[in-house]
Structure 1
Amino acid sequence: MRWDDFRRSDNVEDRRGGGGGGFRVPTGGRGGRLGIGTIVVLGLLGWALGIDPRLLITGAEMLSGGSEYSEPAPQQTGRLGQPQDRDGQFASAILGNTEDVWKVVLPQQVAVNYQVPRMVLFSGGTRSGCGIAQSATGPFYCPLDRSVYLDLDFFREMRSRFNVSGDFAYAYVIAHEVGHHVQNLLGILPRVQEAQRQASQAQANQLSVRVELMADCLAGVWASHSDAKYRSLEPGDVEAAMNAASAIGDDRLQKASQGYAVPESFTHGSSEQRVRWFTTGLKSGKVEACNTLSGGRL
């Protein structure tokens, strides 16, 4: 992926290291620190790890509000602006490119002005407007403070745990979280949260799947417009992103951890669904093509 020429975003808060306000969160419980795949599949272990299980209902995406999150938690602060290390520069560049794309696409296609999110880089754990963020829960978007939280070690875990690598695969992860921000600006997340509170567990999971697949599709919309304007994609990039989407499908994660899949417990969607919806956004470049909430086939 050609990202060196992307504009770097200044909407980055770096809490990594001693000067950034980050802190290590002990994982404790049974089996020590768990990776994102195990957390997604075995959400009940959140109790043992000290993680609010509602973080896990949506597969480590912070979509459920709840009474505990009615007010933002006390905030930590870090260094503001563009990080200087390569990984930080990459994250800042991808965020900057999503800003440049969505500032044009969102008003043009749905008549909504794009308000940029913040990206918080941290190590181990940090506070968010939705509560404690831990590396074990993976990247997530908090709608209450409109921020994407990312421990860059997650990309190393993608390589070692899921055998997924490549800059565009990592960019897809960031674009997926920004996709949740787009959903928030469109008023989708609050409506889904309210529906989840009134739904059964199975219905709430199904709503979560639909929201996650929409975010995959919106990541594809971003990639489509980024490549059209900046010629950012190189041979193999799309395959890398689809490999990433497939690797973290609920069915694949469940089969790896317990030998079988339970579709009723899916929170992100199957590998096939994630690949298909990312491809839908990539090929169409249209926000309206990402309507997974219409009740049609997933």
Structure 2
Amino acid sequence: MAFTLVTGIGTANADALPAPQALATAASAGASPSAQSSAAQSSTAQSPAAAGATLRVPGGRTAATASPLYRTGTLPQMSCGAGQIRAGSAASYRYFMTRITRCLNLSWKTQFKKAKLPFAQPKLRFVTTRVGSPCGPWPKGAGGYYCSSNRMIYIGVFRDVLKNPYAPNHAQFMAHEYGHHVQQLMGVMNYYGQSIWRAGASTKLAFSRRLELQADCLGSAFLRQVSADLPVDQEQWDSMVEWVSENGQKNWAKNDHGRGRSQAYWMERGFNSGSPSSCNTWTAPSRTVA
């Protein structure tokens, strides 16, 4: 089984912003076999599906360490009908990623409803050039990224991405980016932004690793629940994880996404459980987010 690597970067452009409250965090997928991954008071938010009901989102550190989402059990099993990606075919890639996103929307909407948290879908934009966003310029070397400021996932339809048609890799990539949107809705992104505001370099990197590794885990939990549909058998999954363990760190000179073994560890946790309960990187020992 041949794997290729398209890099991504997670960045937080806090230094350019006038106040912590204005923080916009952009994050792209960490390394995957093909395309890849603080106010103390609770805040309130309105859910479009809540028909006027006001749901409370935990604030501050609680949003990351004790989210109600961790107590919602497994994600629903889904059949996405995404089809196959044909090597070099932009149309089949767009179709596949759009269908996976629809599945992600349905899956996480169900999970947020169980958690009694407000849910809203992210926007999805396919691009053929590396466009900027309210979060800043396109991250160097990234195949795609999520911008929390406008809640949009940017997916590059680039020649190097289209070379590898292996569907599970691209599904994991999309699920990782969607994982950042989940973090935004949980209140994790706000906690992250507040925590790294004016923090030292080592603290910023430590928080970035916890953010990115959680997205790896959340993405893998989703992949488990659609594995019969894609399909993803155990041998394929084991090969993906082994590849990430050996190669996942190669494009992160600053180690802001975690070493390959850390990425593999959190991918395994998510895939084995199929549940966000396994994805609390914020209370995990430092050795697991190194």
The bucket for the TM-score relative to the shorter chain is: 0.5 to 0.7
- Using the TM superposition, name which of 120-129 and 172-181 deviates more: 120-129
Corresponding residue of 2:248: 249
State the partner residue of 2:232: 234
Residue aligning to 1:210: 210
Greater helix share, 1 or 2? 1
Alignment of 1:1-298 (within 5 A): 37=7, 60-68=9-17, 70=22, 85-108=91-114, 110-133=115-138, 136-153=141-158, 156=161, 159=164, 166-227=166-227, 231-235=229-233, 236-239=235-238, 241-242=240-241, 245-246=244-245, 249-250=248-249, 252-253=250-251, 265-297=254-286, 298=288
Q: Which amino acid aligns with 1:104?
A: T
C-alpha spacing 1:204/1:158, structure 2 compared with 1 (3 Å): farther
Name the CA shift for 1:106/1:245 in 2 (closer, same or farther; >3 Å).
farther
Match of 1:50 in 2: none
How far did 1:180 drift?
0.4
The offset of 1:140, in angstroms, is: 1.0
- The 1:289/1:158 distance shift into structure 2, 3 A limit, reads farther
SS of equivalent to 2:226: helix
Q: Secondary structure at the match of 1:277?
A: helix
Q: Deviations over 1:96-155 (max 9, x none)?
A: 1111211112322x3323311111111122231212326733311100000111112276
1:169–1:240 Cα contact (<8 Å) kept: no
**Code of the aligned partner of 1:122:** V
Residue identity opposite 1:125 in structure 2: R
SS at match of 1:133: coil
**2:148 aligned partner, one-letter code:** P
Distance 1:62 1:141 in 2: 10
- Do 2:10 and 2:256's aligned partners in 1 also have CA atoms closer than 8 Å? no
Distance 1:143 1:248 in 2: 28
Asked which structure has the greater RCO (Cα within 8 Å, sep 6+), the reply is 2
CA RMSD of aligned residues (A): 3.1
The farther-off stretch of 146-155 and 92-101 is: 146-155
Distance, in Å, in 1 between the alignment partners of 2:119 and 2:243 is 27
With over 3 angstroms needed to count, the CA separation of the structure-2 counterparts of 1:86 and 1:244, relative to structure 1, is farther
Report the CA distance shift for 1:96/1:249 in structure 2 as closer, same or farther (over 3 A): same
2:272 aligned partner, one-letter code: K
Counterpart-to-counterpart distance in 2, 1:248 and 1:102: 29
Per-residue CA deviations over 1:35-54 (Å, capped at 9, x if unaligned) read: 965xxxxxxxxxxxxxxxxx
What SS does the corresponding residue of 1:221 show, helix, strand or coil?
Answer: helix
Distance 1:277 1:271, change over 3 A: same
**Total equivalences in the alignment:** 216
CA distance in 2, matches of 1:112, 1:85: 35
Alpha-carbon distance in structure 2 between the residues aligned to 1:71 and 1:208: 14
Q: Secondary structure of 1:268's match?
A: coil
Alpha-carbon distance between aligned partners in 2 of 1:152 and 1:174, rounded to the nearest angstrom: 13
Distance 1:240 1:153, change over 3 A: farther
Q: 1: CA distance between counterparts of 2:14 and 2:197?
A: 9
The 2-side partners of 1:292 and 1:285 are apart by 16
Shift of 1:284: 1.4
Which residue identity is paired with 2:166?
Answer: G
Q: 1:154 to 1:135 in 2, by over 3 A?
A: farther
Whether the aligned pair in 2 keeps the contact of 1:63 and 1:142 (CA below 8 Å) is no
Aligned residues of 2:144 and 2:156 also touching (Cα < 8 A): yes
Sequence identity (%): 21
Structure 1, residues 135-187: CA drift from partner, whole Å, max 9, x if none?
7333111000001111122763885xxxxx61101111111010000000000
Cα shift at 1:295: 4.6
**Does the 8 Å CA contact 1:172/1:241 hold for their aligned counterparts?**
no
Instruction: For residue 64 of structure 1, report the CA deviation from its aligned partner.
Output: 4.0
TM-score by length of 1: 0.63
Shift in alpha-carbon separation, 1:245–1:116, aligned structure 2, 3 A: farther
